[in-house]
Amino acid sequence: MAAGLVLVLVTVGYFAFGRDIIPASARARVAPPPVYVIGARIVRRSMPLWFKAVGQAQSEHSVRITPQVGGLLTHVYFHQGQYVRRGQPLFEINPAPYRAAVDQARAAYLAAAAQVGRDAKLVPRGFIAPQTYIAAKATAAQDKALLAQAEINLGYTLLRSPINGLAGEIMVRAGNVVGPAGSTPLVTINQMSPILVSFQLPQRDLHAVLHDRRKHTILVDVLRESVKDPLGMGPLVFIDNTVNTSAGTFLAMARVPNLPVRLWPGEYVAVRVILTVQRGALVVLQSAVQPGQGGDFVYVVAHGHATIVPVTESRQIGRYAVLAQGPPAGTLVVAHVPRRMRDGVSVSVEKILPPPPPRPWS
């Protein structure tokens, strides 16, 4: 019984006072290790307020080259897919019949004009009636008009480019007979620079676009749809005067310089309509913002511990989140939240990511 009593006293004494005599280094080994994290700071940046849409590039000026006179197509002065300049010769229709028609009309006009000159001297002398002189003048005027029409037709035999642009497929080759009645154009020329990008926006955004357009020029970012490759930027130049009642959208267009040429007519692209740019917005990596039952939050790192702080996210732009409410600029947060992260847990910051560039959305 004495031995049993001693054993009980020793056990009670260990649990009551034994921990106090354990060295501090031993207790540190018993505590859980810190969570290693990557940090990022909340910063202030200029961030846009924009609408996103799918757009389609289209030529601002497209011309279908069709003959205005008929005849044998004798020459093609360019290659399909070639850039052509305004006034550059494209096609030639056999001019011989039209040149002969000009010569014939000129001869008739010269004869009529000579007759008018003779009659003008005979009328005062009473050798011919005034009506004869008037008829001669009418005939000369008619022949002059026929000569002008013949010269116009002769000019139509050489087809020139009316614009600077890119020539498409040549639909009719030399050696074929063409005419003004044909529905198939000889070639289509599209202006490539500048180029228009058309897109549809929901009607709920119409008044916001109109309001901002009255105050300043609205810029439109154009990007490649698949890889988000920026293709250009240009001003909003057109808003349709009617809302599509079946789709609940309205049509808008932007003009992009397209130099060098990267946009192609008919190509689908991603569009960002930048209404305004918010100066000094609170910006943080989107991966740092976590959803919770009470709303979004971030883990703020301070004094070796991570603490939950609520935030209100305004919008997401690329890899970054714009905060309407949150910790002040300069606050260190956990950029990539690991599974073991909990409120108040001990953390060790391995590295701090560099701040976003001045225009993190460009």
Same domain, residue pair 236 and 322: no
Between 136 and 125, name the one with better pLDDT. 136
Same domain, residue pair 148 and 121: yes
Cα–Cα dist 307/242, whole Å: 52
Q: Say if 222 falls within a structural domain.
A: yes
Q: Per-residue pLDDT for 12 more than 80?
A: no
Q: Say if 156 falls within a structural domain.
A: yes
Q: Counting runs of H as helices and runs of E as strands, what totals does the chain give? A: 5, 21
Q: What is the mean pLDDT of residues 172-188?
A: 90
pLDDT digits (tens, 9 = 90+) for 163-174: 999 999 999 999
Q: Per-residue pLDDT for 28 more than 60?
A: no
The total number of structural domains in the chain stands at 3
Same domain, residue pair 274 and 286: no
Q: Say if 12 falls within a structural domain.
A: no
pLDDT digits (tens, 9 = 90+) for 148-162: 999 999 999 999 999
Same domain, residue pair 289 and 340: yes
pLDDT of residue 6: 45
Q: What is the mean pLDDT of residues 196-220?
A: 94
Last residue of a domain, one of 170, 190, 210: 190
- Torsion region of 299: left, alpha or beta (phi above 0 gives left; psi -120 to 50 gives alpha): beta
Cβ proximity of 75 and 91 under 8 Å? yes
Q: Tell me the pLDDT of the chain averaged across its residues.
A: 90
Same domain, residue pair 140 and 185: yes
Q: Say if 73 falls within a structural domain.
A: yes
Nearest to 243 by CA among 206, 274, 272: 206
pLDDT of residue 8: 45
Same domain, residue pair 182 and 230: no
Q: What is the mean pLDDT of residues 118-129?
A: 84
pLDDT digits (tens, 9 = 90+) for 279-324: 999 999 999 999 998 899 999 999 999 999 999 999 988 899 999 9
pLDDT of residue 4: 53
pLDDT of residue 18: 47
Same domain, residue pair 186 and 76: yes
Q: In CATH, what number is assigned to the domain containing residue 261?
A: 2.40.30.170
pLDDT of residue 83: 96
pLDDT of residue 288: 96
pLDDT band, very low/low/confident/very high, at 226 (cuts 50, 70, 90): low
Same domain, residue pair 80 and 229: no
Q: Say if 269 falls within a structural domain.
A: yes
SS3 139: helix
**With pLDDT > 70 as the criterion, what percentage of the chain qualifies?**
91
Q: Say if 235 falls within a structural domain.
A: yes
Same domain, residue pair 116 and 170: yes
Q: In CATH, what number is assigned to the domain containing residue 91?
A: 2.40.50.100
Q: Say if 120 falls within a structural domain.
A: yes
Same domain, residue pair 172 and 140: yes
Last residue of a domain, one of 278, 298, 322: 278
pLDDT digits (tens, 9 = 90+) for 36-72: 999 999 999 999 999 999 999 999 999 999 999 999 9
Q: In CATH, what number is assigned to the domain containing residue 288?
A: 2.40.420.20
Tokens in use for 159?
């087809």
Q: Which residue segment(s) compose the domain that 347 sits in? A: 33-46+280-352
Cα–Cα dist 353/38, whole Å: 7
Residue 152 Cα distances to 6, 108, 146, 284, 318, angstroms: 130, 17, 10, 69, 59
Could you give the residue ranges of the DSSP H alpha helices within 157-187?
none
Q: What is the mean pLDDT of residues 328-342?
A: 93
Q: Per-residue pLDDT for 118 more than 80?
A: yes
Q: Per-residue pLDDT for 198 more than 50?
A: yes
Cα torsion at 230, 231, 234, 239 (round to 10°)? -100
Q: What is the mean pLDDT of residues 14-32?
A: 53
**With pLDDT > 90 as the criterion, what percentage of the chain qualifies?**
77
pLDDT of residue 29: 56
Q: What is the mean pLDDT of residues 126-130?
A: 83
Mutual angle of helices 130-156 and 96-122, in 10-degree steps: 160
Same domain, residue pair 107 and 249: no
Tokens 């391995």, residue? 350
Residue 234, strand partner residues: 220
Last residue of a domain, one of 252, 278, 304: 278
Q: Say if 9 falls within a structural domain.
A: no
pLDDT digits (tens, 9 = 90+) for 344-353: 999 999 999 9
Cα–Cα dist 26/17, whole Å: 16
H, E, C per residue of 267-322: CEEEEEEEEEEEEEEEEEEHHHCECCCCCCEEEEEECCEEEEEECEEEEEECCEEE
Q: For the whole model, what pTM was predicted?
A: 0.73
Same domain, residue pair 103 and 126: yes
pLDDT of residue 223: 92
